[in-house]
């Protein structure tokens, strides 16, 4: 039986990570593991505590995340999407190992660009991130901020997490990576961002337009403001927390 047939009886949960070390613990936890590659993107099906899941490696960046999410939705018909992984802190009060649940996910691309060719049609003096055109409930509109499902966020908040705080906040998502303390402070002051990464806004946009519930969470792996460097152990902590949530809420699966 191939991977697509395995998930046909129940709608699985699609769980995403961009890098190999953001999905390896999840893959190791799968029972009845099967793997398939579709248009270059890797998917791993199996069970976690009798719950059907499909683990997806989106690879890095918003375009890759868009493609991986669309392929995952069209081939596996998930009940909802969990987008998880690591992030750099924008909030100086967040420490390595803390987890941010995306109450708000913002598109942080394109503020303050100085390259004239890229500035066409963009007001670099605006305090808003770049809006995207989004279709929801049959209507097209412009937005730069999306939100995780309140119901799914509540489920995650109901499960104990012992390696830091679990915090509902704002995740900034873009195709760049802020390397300076000045840049991090500027983004935090402007947008109230708590951390940044490179995939979740794209995932949220695809899910919104597909009418599919989703939750975004990111574990703090480093903080320029605190002078800490990337801690690779954090990716495993985040995955283990997702596994704990699945084990504590088996009713999350939908037929």
- Mean model confidence pLDDT for the chain: 88
Mean pLDDT along residues 165-186: 90
pLDDT at position 238: 98
Mean pLDDT along residues 132-158: 88
pLDDT at position 114: 42
pLDDT band at residue 122 under the 50/70/90 scheme: very low
- What are the pLDDT digits (tens) for 205-238? 999 999 999 999 999 999 999 999 999 999 999 9
pLDDT at position 236: 98
Mean pLDDT along residues 72-90: 97
Q: Decide if pLDDT at 93 tops 60.
A: yes
pLDDT at position 119: 39
How many of the other CB atoms lie within 10 Å of CB of 158? Answer: 10
pTM: predicted TM-score of the whole model, two decimal places: 0.89
Q: Decide if pLDDT at 41 tops 60.
A: yes
pLDDT band at residue 116 under the 50/70/90 scheme: very low
Q: Residue 55's closest CA among 79, 81, 88?
A: 81
Q: What whole-number percentage of the chain has pLDDT above 70?
A: 86
User: Comparing 64 with 251, which gets the higher pLDDT?
Assistant: 64
Q: Say if residue 210 is exposed, middle or buried (CB neighbours under 10 Å; 0-12, 13-18, 19+).
A: middle
């Amino acid at each position: 039986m191939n991977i697509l047939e395995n998930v046909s009886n129940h709608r699985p949960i699609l769980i995403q990570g961009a890098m190999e070390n953001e999905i390896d613990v999840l893959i190791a936890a799968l029972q009845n593991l099967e793997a398939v590659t579709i248009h270059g993107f890797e998917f791993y099906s199996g069970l976690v505590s009798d719950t059907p899941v499909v683990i997806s490696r989106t690879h890095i960046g918003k375009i890759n995340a868009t493609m991986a999410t669309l392929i995952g939705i069209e081939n596996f018909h998930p009940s909802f999407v969990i987008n998880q992984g690591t992030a750099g802190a924008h909030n100086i009060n967040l420490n390595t190992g803390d987890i941010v649940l995306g109450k708000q996910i913002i598109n942080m691309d394109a503020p303050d660009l100085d390259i004239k060719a890229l500035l066409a049609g963009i007001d670099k003096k605006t305090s808003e991130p770049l809006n995207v055109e989004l279709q929801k409930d049959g209507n097209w509109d412009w937005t730069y901020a999306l939100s995780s499902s309140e119901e799914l966020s509540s489920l995650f908040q109901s499960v104990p997490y012992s390696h830091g705080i679990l915090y509902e906040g704002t995740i900034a998502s873009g195709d760049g990576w802020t390397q300076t303390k000045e840049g991090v402070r500027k983004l935090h002051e402007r947008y109230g961002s708590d951390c940044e990464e490179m995939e979740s806004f794209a995932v949220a946009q695809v899910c919104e337009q597909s009418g599919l519930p989703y939750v975004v969470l990111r574990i703090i792996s480093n903080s320029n403001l605190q002078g800490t460097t990337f801690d690779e152990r954090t990716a495993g902590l985040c995955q283990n927390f997702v596994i704990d949530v699945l084990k504590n809420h088996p009713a999350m699966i939908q037929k």
